[in-house]
Every structure is written in structure tokens, then in C-alpha cells.
Amino acid sequence: MSANDADEVSISRRALLATGALLVSRPARAKAKLKVAVFSKHLQFVQGEDLATAAAGLGFDGVDLTLRKGGHVEPASVARDLPALVATLRKHGLEVPMVTTDIADAGTPFAEDILKTLAALGIRNYRFGAFQWDAAKPYEAQLEAMRPRLAKLAALNARYQMCAMYHTHSGVGLVGASIWDLWYLMRDLDPKAMGVNFDVSHAMIEGGLGGWIDSFKITGDHLRGIAVKDFAWGKDAKGAYRAQWKPMGEGMVKLAEFFGMVAQTAFEGPLQMHFEYPLGGANNGARTLTIPKEDVFAAMKKDLEHVRRTLAKAGL
């Protein structure tokens, strides 16, 4: 081998090693940051363009629209009214990652109209549910009666490439409060068509020590949405302990720990913020406020900033 050939081999070898080192050291592609949507129930006092201006001005990435009786869009007029409102929101740079509906199963009035309209708009998630237990009947039999209802709705969802997300609440007699019942109901269904909208505050009310952790983990691939708010236990006027809603960071929800758990999953959203603490009626979905709307906006912005800081610390 000539000196020139040896030099070329040496250079090629060094180039190959350098390229290999570059490939090894190159970090994996970062997961997209979670976007935060506001539940429009708490902005019922603004409509149309004003809703879009408010949500965008507060710094939200999107809006979870109320598409139910008394909501921003009425189910009976979904085909007419939803496209226009979604266009207005998108014009202001807002996404509509999901809507909240009154759908319980495939037989709910206007269910297919809603799904057809959502699919045409490219909105793939909607909230459904609110099943209740009959305390006078065996729970196992009730579960078996619910399964075909969910299966039929999942089949309808699959037709339109939609996912129904069952929102988890806390309380006596509510299906989904423990979340393990949802695991049983959904375990044989495609997560792309049927999933859970995990409300971390309600989960902590039901299982404040470790139950909320177990209930989050059991959702598995059926975790399709997350709702955040805060609460603390306190006594009411009669001296009974009740969950009392609080601004973000002022209650008992372990948001940093929760987001750390979320970061270990493949969850990509939608993430929604709720505002249930006293807020001049905005907390209850009122169309007329008892306090200046500027005070409502200031409280929402403060909560959003807290959530974004906590998300950032978790790498979300």
C-alpha cells in the first residue's frame, strides 16, 4: 500500500468514526409539547368571535367546545353552527381538539349528526358518558348491560374515525368514579374508538393516597384525554367535609407528580383546563357574570401560567 493509499484509509476511517459518534450522540427526537385547551363551559358568557378573542388572548392553545344542550353549540343545529364557530376559532390560531357532548350511546338524539360533522372538520375526540349505578341492582349485571352499549358506540365511532372519551367524575353512584369499572367496560374495545378522559382532581378525591395512581395506570392505552383542576377537603356550613374547588396550586392535587407520570406515557392530548371554584358564575357555565369579566380572565390566566410551568418542569 502506498503512503497516499494509507492516508486515504486513515482519513476515511476517521470520517466514519466521526459520523458514528455523531449518530450515537444525536438525541432522540423530542416529543411535541402538550397543548392546553380551555373547557368552554367556563366561557359561556362570551360567544362567537368574543369566545375566540378571549381564549386566544388568555394564551390557550385550543378550546374544548360545549356541544350540548345550553352549550356554545346546540346538538340539533350542529351541522349548521359548528363549522362556522370552528372556523372562527381557527382564524384566531386556536385548535379544537375535542368537544363535550351529551352523548351516552349510539341512540342519543343527534349522535350521528354530531360525529359526521366532527369528522368533516377533522375533530377526532369528543367527551361522552355520565352513566350511573342503580343501587338496587347487582353491579355486575349492570356492567354487562353497559358493555354492548359501548361496543355499539365504538362501532359508530370507527365508521367516522372518532374517539369517545368517558369523563371521570367523583361521587356516589357514578360509573367511572373508581375508573376500574371503565377498564372492564373498555378492555376489549379499540382505544382509537373508545377511551377515558382522566380528570386528575376527581381521581384524587376518590383515591387521594394511592388510588389515583392505580386508576391512572389502569387506563393504559385507553387514556385519550386529561382534565386538570384543583381541590381541597374542607368543612361546609353544616360541618361536613366536602371537596372544595380551588385555583390551580392552592389545593391538594399533586400536579407535578401527575405530569411526571404522564411524561412516561405516549399521551399527546387533548389536555383541558377546568375552573370550578367560585368565579362569578363562570365556574357553573353562567351566561351572565356577577363579577367583572376581567377578574375571571385574570384568574384563568394565573391558573394557565401555573399549569404551563408545571408542564415545563415535567418536560411536557
In this prediction, residue 30 has a pLDDT band, given cuts at 50, 70 and 90, of low
Question: What is the structure's pLDDT at 18?
Answer: 43
Distance of alpha carbon 225 from alpha carbon 98, whole angstroms: 9
Provide the residue type at 58 as one letter: L
Q: Does residue 16 belong to any structural domain of this protein?
A: no
Four-residue CA torsion sign, 250, 254, 260, 264: negative
What lies within 8 Å, CB to CB, of 204 at 6+ separation is 212, 231, 252, 253, 254
CA atoms of 188 and 186, how far apart (whole Å) = 6
Q: What is the CATH number of the domain that holds 275?
A: 3.20.20.150
Residue 45 falls inside a structural domain: yes
Query: What's the structural domain count of the chain?
Result: 1
Q: Are 98 and 64 in contact (CB under 8 A)?
A: yes
With b for 16 or more beta-carbon neighbours within 10 A and e for fewer, the 30-68 pattern comes to: eeeebbbbbbbbbbbbbeeeebbebbbebebbbbbbbbb
User: How many C-beta atoms lie closer than 10 Å to residue 8's C-beta?
Assistant: 12
Q: pLDDT tens-digit profile of 266-313?
A: 999 999 999 999 999 999 999 999 999 999 999 999 999 999 999 999
Q: Which domain holds residue 99?
A: 40-313
* 298 in any annotated domain: yes
Please write the tens of the pLDDT for every residue from 124-142: 999 998 899 999 999 999 9
Structural domain includes residue 11 = no
**Predicted TM-score of the model (pTM):** 0.89
316, 34 Cβ separation under 8 angstroms: yes
Tell me whether residue 13 is in a domain: no
271-273 and 241-246 strand pairing: unpaired
Q: For the segment 88-116, what is each residue's pLDDT rounded down to a tens digit?
A: 999 999 999 999 999 999 999 999 999 99
Q: How far apart are CA 24 and CA 153, in angstroms?
A: 47
Q: Is 160 within the bounds of a domain?
A: yes
Assigned domain for 7 exists: no
Lookup result for grid cell 371537596: 243
C-alpha 96/C-alpha 71 separation (Å) is: 15
How distant, in Å, are the alpha carbons of 99, 201, 210, 266, 307 from that of 244?
A: 26, 11, 20, 32, 19
Backbone angles phi, psi at 223, to 5 degrees: -70, 110
Q: What is the mean pLDDT of residues 39-66?
A: 98
Tally the residues of the chain.
316
pLDDT for 24: 39
Q: With pLDDT > 90 as the criterion, what percentage of the chain qualifies?
A: 89
In a domain, 8, yes or no: no
Tell me: the pLDDT tens digits for 135-190? 999 999 999 999 999 999 999 999 999 999 999 999 999 999 999 999 999 999 99
